[in-house]
């Protein structure tokens, strides 16, 4: 028995080294945009962009490796979108914390996360989520990713009248994305192995021929990490008020908790990891990877690190074990040296003033929605106390562009409907507890005491 077989149980999971390598590469290519987006957002708070990029690559690799060995899942991790904006624009620019202090507060949140992972609290919450919400969350995430792909392709754009409308079909970037979408769809219909990866590379070539994808070079020397690594500052954290500090830590913890749960449920449901009763094997190891990733990330100089829903693209390409994560993590380490080459594929393209799209990556995200929406048939539509919460969760996620908001409304509506129908015992007490916390959050949001 090979070392890879002993470590990752490839045969037991119905996969091969080839499938894992393809899946790992595909996951990396669909999430590597964070290498460039993260520095842009964090630099708004005054952080050195090059240092943030180095910290991001190292944090992604570290947390993704931990996931491989603690849970054996093909779920990669990276700084969370939305969390980075909260860090830069709310904590630093609005509340007045320095970025060094914000890193310290983020680290405290991560340590709290880590402690609760060891005692199994997050695992119990993950397994306590009702089946209807697990499937609704998975479908909602799929729709959110599909909407993101449609936006990044330029196929749908903002509209003052209808909020969204059809994009400019004559735009070269939109045409490139459209070609990539049809190439991938054809390859999938023909059941070609690695269809998404092949389609991704083909789209990049078409984009280069059309002048949409620009060649940025191949190799660069890693530098700048010292500007952000171990720069946390715990001094002065309380000078802004204990209430403000506690609110920041709570929101960071809260968002990470439910984004992680949503992503794990979504990818696990797509890959068939969830048991018939809705529990997730090795959930503690997966949650531990998320928590340690956040702590490591803050030490290196980046915001909350969490499981990435883009991992579903790797699952769609055949990944089923942590071996795919070794590939993804290894590519993040290589990205330290080959950032110009990564930029060639993942770089945005401007279609209007202040509007950027990602024409090469977008088709993959659109088709991920296809793979993730299939769980809708598993929802008990005849039982409205199950159907309504699932529907609200799956509808609100893409429309609010927030996994957390979809989960929040799903939880609250589930508890409410079970209570009014005198079936409250059907819900785990943790579901009722977090429903109350979600309600409290909305009250605080309405009062303007915390940010979104």
Region 137-164: what's the mean pLDDT? 88
In a domain, 297, yes or no: yes
Residues 314 and 443 in one domain: no
In a domain, 163, yes or no: no
Region 97-119: what's the mean pLDDT? 91
Residues 221 and 307 in one domain: yes
Residues 344 and 411 in one domain: no
Region 57-72: what's the mean pLDDT? 97
pLDDT-based confidence at 375, cuts 50/70/90?
confident
Question: Last residue of some domain: 329, 348, 367?
Answer: 348
Residues 251 and 344 in one domain: yes
Strand (E) or helix (H) holding 287: helix 283-300
Q: Any idea which of 108-117, 237-246, 367-376, 437-446 has the lowest mean pLDDT?
A: 237-246
In a domain, 234, yes or no: yes
pLDDT of residue 101: 95
SS3 404: helix
pLDDT in tens, 12-39: 899 999 999 999 999 998 888 888 788 8
In a domain, 75, yes or no: yes
Number of domains the chain contains: 2
Residues 6+ apart with CB under 8 A from 380: 132, 386, 387
Partnered with residue 291 across adjacent β-strands are: none
In a domain, 211, yes or no: no
Averaged pLDDT score across all residues of the chain: 88
pLDDT of residue 21: 95
Q: What is the dihedral of CA 286, 292, 295, 301, to 10 degrees?
A: -80
Residues 282 and 392 in one domain: no
Residues 58 and 108 in one domain: yes
Residues 121 and 238 in one domain: yes
Residues 22 and 83 in one domain: yes
pLDDT of residue 451: 54
Residues 341 and 380 in one domain: no
* Residue 320 belongs to domain spanning: 3-132+217-348
In a domain, 181, yes or no: no
Residues 342 and 296 in one domain: yes
For residues 90 and 384, what is the distance between their CA atoms, to the nearest angstrom? 38
Residues 343 and 406 in one domain: no
Q: What is the dihedral of CA 83, 84, 85, 91, to 10 degrees?
A: 90
The residue with tokens 């539509």 is 381
Residues 227 and 310 in one domain: yes
Q: Record the pTM.
A: 0.75
Region 131-146: what's the mean pLDDT? 86
């Amino acid at each position: 028995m090979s070392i890879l077989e002993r470590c990752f149980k490839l045969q037991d999971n119905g996969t091969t080294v080839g499938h894992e390598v393809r899946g790992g590469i595909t996951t990396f290519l669909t999430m590597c945009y964070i290498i460039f987006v993260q520095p842009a957002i964090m630099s708004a708070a005054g952080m050195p962009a090059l240092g943030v990029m180095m910290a991001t690559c190292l944090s992604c690799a570290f947390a993704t490796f931990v996931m491989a060995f603690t849970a054996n899942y093909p779920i990669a991790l990276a700084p969370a979108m939305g969390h980075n904006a909260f860090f830069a624009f709310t904590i630093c620019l609005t509340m007045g914390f320095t970025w060094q202090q914000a890193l310290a507060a983020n680290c405290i949140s991560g340590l709290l996360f880590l402690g609760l992972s060891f005692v199994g609290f997050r695992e119990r919450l993950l397994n306590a989520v009702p089946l209807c919400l697990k499937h609704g969350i998975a479908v909602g995430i799929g729709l959110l990713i599909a909407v993101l792909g449609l936006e990044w392709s330029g196929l749908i754009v903002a509209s003052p009248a209808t909020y969204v409308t059809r994009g400019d079909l004559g735009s070269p970037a939109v045409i490139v994305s459209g070609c990539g979408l049809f190439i991938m769809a054809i390859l999938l219909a023909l059941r070609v192995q690695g269809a998404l990866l092949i389609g991704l590379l083909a789209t990049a070539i078409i984009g280069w021929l059309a002048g949409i994808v620009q060649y940025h070079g191949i190799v660069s020397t890693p530098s700048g990490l010292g500007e952000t690594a171990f720069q946390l500052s715990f001094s002065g954290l309380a000078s802004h008020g204990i209430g403000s500090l506690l609110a920041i830590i709570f929101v960071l913890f809260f968002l990470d908790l439910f984004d992680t749960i949503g992503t794990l449920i979504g990818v696990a449901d797509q890959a068939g990891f969830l048991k018939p009763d809705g529990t997730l094997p090795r959930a503690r190891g997966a949650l531990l990877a998320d928590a340690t990733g956040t702590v490591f990330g803050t030490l290196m100089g980046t915001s909350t690190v969490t499981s990435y829903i883009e991992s579903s693209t790797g699952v769609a390409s055949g990944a089923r074990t942590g071996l795919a994560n070794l590939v993804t993590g290894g590519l993040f380490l290589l990205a330290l040296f080959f950032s110009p080459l990564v930029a060639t594929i993942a770089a945005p393209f401007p279609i209007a003033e202040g509007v950027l799209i990602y024409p090469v990556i977008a088709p993959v995200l659109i088709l991920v929605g296809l793979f993730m929406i299939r769980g809708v048939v598993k929802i008990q539509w005849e039982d409205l106390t199950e159907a309504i919460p699932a529907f609200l969760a799956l509808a609100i996620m893409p429309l609010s562009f927030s996994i957390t908001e979809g989960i929040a409304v799903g939880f609250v509506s589930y508890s409410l409907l079970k209570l009014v129908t005198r079936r409250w015992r059907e819900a785990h007490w943790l579901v009722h507890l977090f429903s109350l916390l979600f309600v409290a959050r909305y009250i605080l949001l309405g009062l303007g005491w915390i940010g979104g």
